[in-house]
Chains A and B, each alone.
Chain A
Amino acid sequence: MSSEATTGAVASERPHRPHDGWRKWAEIAFFVTPALALMALFVAWPIITAARFSLYDWKGLGPLDDFVGFENYAEVLADDVFRDAVAHNMIIVVGSIIVQLPLGVAIALLLNRKMAGQGVLRTLIFVPYVLAEVIAGVIWFQLLQPEYGLVDALMNGIGLSPPEQGWLGTPEVALWVVLAVLTWKYLGLAVLLFLAGLQGVSEELYEAAQLDGASWWQTQWRISIPLLGPTIRTWCFLSMIGSIQCFDMIWVLTGGGPADATTTMATYLIDEGTNRHNYGIAGAASVVLFAIAFVMALVYQLVVLRRDTKEAAV
């Protein structure tokens, strides 16, 4: 901080010192308080409230007086629908990374080459990400309508038979369809981040490789991808957090159905809390969701991202 230099200049005037410290704190407080207050009101307080609700049997009316301890947690953890929801979340976490990572890297490498229509291609890939999630969801919902939707019509047109109950109505395929739509939606972000990462790779390295007679493939495999590491690790983190909280797209496409085949922890919360007024159960489920997300984020930070943050700090 430059403050050391400035305080050094006025250090001879002793009485000013504590005053300066006070001023600095006042300044910090002045700028930080509004943000902190918002954070406390809209983030910290709801978390505390949810944790409090989770210990009571409460239907949303009257006083919070039926204390049940950890009964709600036991109920949530024993509920098949919630367990399935956690499994669905994990499938989305893993599925998103497995599909989007190679696809995103490949597209980013391709788009990083100089070619005609580069700008248009980049925009096309990125458009789904910019689209509001609910709007994208409604569009896909219409496209995937059984019998009357475009996807079914196209498939019938070329002689393929779509699932009898429709893409979103067949419990065995619904989750995979949702995953495909999520991939379409979020691939743009991966490509954008990877492209940005590639811009950071020094041109000299490519030149050196070229002089050594490396092929395009070798250059990508030995230089671009390894140097993309930090970007990939950060992207994985973002993707993971997004997948754990996955709600909007599923709510619009399937509402968690058919036959609970696409529930996630977030849709479970809404169903129990907002729809059924089981606020204690919803509170317990939200605390479990928070804990899972928190632990995953922490482990990832400690194990995977440590290298990157260390490098950045040095």
Chain B
Amino acid sequence: MSRKTQALAALCAGLMIAATGCGGSGDSGGDDKTITWWHNSNNDPGKGYYEQVAKDFEKANPGIDVKVQAFAHEDMLTKLDAAFQSGDVPDVYMERGGGELADHVEAGLTRDLSEDSKDIIDQIGGSAAGWQVDGKTYALPFSMGVVGFWYNTELFEKAGITAPPTTMQELYAAFDKLDKAGITPVSLGAGDGWPAAHYWYYTALRACSQDVLESAVADLDFSDPCFVQAGETVDEIVAKEPFNKGFLSTPSQTGPTSASGLLATGKVAMELAGHWEPGVMQGITEDKQGLGEKTGWFPFPAVDGGAGDPTAQLGGGDAWAVSEAAPDKAVDLVNYLLSDEVQKGFAENDMGLPTIPAAGSSVKDPALADLLKVRDESPFVQLYFDTAFGESIGGAMNDEIALQFAGKATPEDVVTATQEAADKEK
């Protein structure tokens, strides 16, 4: 017995040593010839495409060795968190922008790309704003989407809705028509928090002017009455009761009874979601088609009486960043990743929505092409507020908005809770 325990203990000790040994493997090796690159395109064609991209880069830059590591998305986030804490960050990695990036910049982990990637930043234009801190650009967005309503064209037709709603009044009229036709209008995964918060973000985007929003992000000031006004519009939407039964505990994307699942299986007519929605729906349905031909998309409607631009969009994306300790060649790799050529391939392989204008026409999916058009025509794309403010403020904000959807918080409570969380950061 004791010998067994002994052996077990020895084994555990061995594993521990092995584990600590592994901890250092994210190291860039410290030499100028090796570039480590982490990404989350874990499935083909994306995975194979990025391997090819790395090979092409190696060919064009003799002597350089690109070490590509593909992770499942959640795994990558966990690994990155650990990497940031240890200060041992991969040379090229993904940034979601906003408060999280600002923290990394403050800790001196992320390299300023303003000068070295100037051409590309100019091409990307306003979309790069989410990855800028104090006027400097620290990461290059390679995929950027906007949030809008994904809908089932067949169910809309059945309910007699001829054109997608463009104002809140038309949206409410659509709810009524769907209700009369016996169709649940909207699915909402409020169990995850952020899907409910996206409604508030959009109503805030419609209620507040760009200046107010910019200063809210920069100075963490939510005193403008437009933020309360945003919550009032949310109350108005919730009062129409358009959501699926049990939306407070519905998950956003997992399984057929999640918000995406309900839309994909024709149980509801629409859902407010990002550009990822077709991919998520395809993953949920058995035939891997999602809604297929019946997929439609329209932007969040205009709200009467708001100071915000009715064509401004809420969105976010992923950007390539270079760690402070990386070799200079890593910057070349990132610039290559944002070249017309790689962005076109990226779009052709359905890996996301390219940010370089020249690659826009390579997006084949008609609904995504609609979305891309709206994105490019919008005066600015507001980064998801929770990302923009960082996890701490964003988390508190999303929680309070979820409470509002449950009827347990007022529009004022949301602003107060957000301001309180923000004051702790100052």
Chain A residues close to B by CB (< 8 Å):
31, 34-35, 37-38, 41, 59-62, 81, 142, 145-149, 164-166, 168-171, 174, 254-255, 257-260, 271, 275-278
Contact between A145 and B246 (Cβ–Cβ < 8 Å)?
Answer: yes
- Interchain CA distance A250-B108 in the complex, whole Å: 38
A171-B109 contact in complex given A60-B84, A164-B245, C-beta closer than 8 Å: no
Does A62 contact B248, Cβ atoms closer than 8 Å? no
Given B81, B257, B391, B392, which contacts A145 in the complex, CB threshold below 8 Å? B257
B162 at the interface (CB under 8 A from A): no
B104 touches A (CB below 8 Å): yes
Knowing that A146-B244, A276-B391, A277-B391 touch, tell me 20 more A-B residue pairs with CB under 8 angstroms. A34-B9, A34-B13, A35-B9, A61-B84, A61-B106, A145-B246, A146-B249, A148-B257, A166-B249, A168-B249, A169-B248, A169-B249, A170-B248, A171-B408, A258-B190, A259-B403, A271-B395, A275-B395, A276-B392, A277-B392
A259 and B85 within 8 A (CB): no
Chain B residue at smallest Cβ distance from A61 = B107
The answer to whether the Cβ of B173 comes within 8 Å of any Cβ in the partner chain is no
Distance of A174 Cα from B249 Cα, bound (Å): 10
Residue of B nearest to A38 (CB): B12
Top 6 closest pairs, chain A to chain B, by CB: A146-B246, A34-B9, A166-B246, A169-B249, A259-B406, A258-B248
In the complex, what residues of B have CB within 8 A of residue A254's CB?
191, 249
Give the complex CA separation of A276 and B394 in angstroms.
Answer: 8
A64 to chain B, nearest CB (A): 11
Give Cα A229–Cα B219 distance, bound, in whole angstroms. 63
Answer whether residue B139 sits at the interface, using C-beta atoms and an 8 A cutoff: no
Question: Which residues does chain B contribute within 8 Å of A258, judged by CB atoms?
Answer: 190-191, 248-249, 402, 406
- Complex Cα distance, B184 from A148, in Å, reads 14
> Is there an interface contact between A147 and B81, defined as CB atoms closer than 8 Å?
no
Alpha-carbon gap, A13 to B23, bound state (A):
53
Q: Is the CB of A61 within 8 A of B109?
A: yes
B403/A34 in contact, CB under 8 A: no
- In the bound assembly, the distance between CA atoms of A81 and B400 in angstroms comes to 11
How many Å from the CB of A168 to the closest CB on chain B?
Answer: 4
A interface, by DSSP: helix, strand, loop or mixed? loop
List A contacts of B190 (CB < 8 A). Answer: 257-258
Mask: chain B, 159-195; 1 = CB below 8 Å from A; 0 = not: 0000000000000000000000000000000111000
Report B-chain residues with C-beta under 8 Å of the C-beta of A170.
Answer: 248
Interface centre among A142, A147, A168, A259 (most CB of B within 10 A): A259
In the complex formed, the residue of B with least CB distance to A272 is B395
Q: In angstroms, how far is the closest chain B Cβ from the Cβ of A114?
A: 35
B392 touches A146 (CB 8 A): no
**28 pairs from A and B in contact (CB 8 Å cutoff):** A34-B9, A38-B9, A61-B103, A61-B104, A62-B107, A81-B399, A142-B257, A145-B246, A145-B257, A147-B244, A147-B246, A148-B257, A165-B246, A166-B246, A166-B248, A168-B246, A169-B191, A169-B246, A169-B249, A169-B250, A174-B249, A255-B192, A257-B191, A258-B406, A259-B402, A259-B408, A275-B391, A276-B391
Known contacts A60-B81, A164-B245, A275-B391: does B250 contact A34 (CB below 8 Å)? no
A contact residues around B108 at 8 Å (CB):
62
Name the residue among A60, A81, A170, A276 with the largest chain B CB count within 10 angstroms: A276
Complex Cα distance A81/B402, Å?
14
CB neighbours of A171 from chain B (8 A): 248, 406, 408
A63 to chain B, nearest CB (A): 9
Interface residues of B (CB under 8 A from A): 2, 5-6, 9-10, 12-13, 16, 81, 84-85, 103-104, 106-109, 190-192, 244-250, 257, 391-392, 395-396, 399, 402-403, 406, 408
Q: B-side binding surface: helix, strand, loop or mixed?
A: helix
- Chain A min CB distance to B388 (Å): 15
Contact A165 B257 (CB under 8 A): no
Closest chain A residue, CB of each to CB of B395 = A276
Contact partners of B12 in chain A: CB under 8 A: 34, 38
User: In angstroms, how far is the closest chain A Cβ from the Cβ of B387?
Assistant: 13
Residue among A34, A35, A278 making CB contact with B392, cutoff 8 Å: A278
Contact of B6 among A31, A142, A148 (CB under 8 A): A31
Q: How far is the CB of B128 from chain A (nearest CB, A)?
A: 23
Shortest B104–chain A CB gap in Å is 7
A147 to B10 CA separation, bound complex (whole angstroms)? 53
Complexed CA–CA distance, A227 and B107 (Å): 63
Q: A166-B246, A276-B392 are in contact. Are A260 and B403 (CB under 8 A)?
A: yes
Known contacts A34-B9, A37-B13; is A60 also within 8 Å of B85 by CB? Answer: yes
B255, closest chain A residue (CB): A142
**Min C-beta distance of B380 to chain A, whole Å:** 27
Cα A258 to Cα B249 with chains together (Å):
6
* CB nearest neighbor in A for B13: A34
Smallest CB gap from A60: residue in B: B85
Most buried by B among A81, A254, A277: A277
Chain A residues with CB under 8 A of B247? 165, 169
Residue of A nearest to B394 (CB): A276
B418 CB to closest chain A CB (Å) equals: 13
- In the bound complex, CA of A169 to CA of B391 (Å): 25
Which residue among B84, B244, B246, B257 has the maximum number of chain A CB atoms within 10 Å of its CB?
Answer: B246
Chain B residue nearest to A147 (CB atoms) is: B245
Tell me the bound Cα distance from A41 to B106 in angstroms.
31
CA distance A255 to B103 in the complex (A): 27
Q: Is the CB of A255 within 8 A of B245?
A: no
The chain B residue sitting closest to A262, CB to CB, is: B249
> Which residue in chain B gives the minimum CB-CB distance to A35?
B9
Bound complex: CA of A271 vs CA of B190, how far in Å? 16
**CB of A260, distance to nearest CB on chain B (Å):** 7
Give Cα A165–Cα B245 distance, bound, in whole angstroms: 5
| B257 partner residues in chain A, CB cutoff 8 A | 142, 145, 148-149
Residue in chain B with minimal CB distance to A30: B6
Among candidates A81, A166, A174, residue contacting B245 with C-beta atoms closer than 8 Å:
A166
CB pair A59–B249 under 8 Å, yes or no, is no
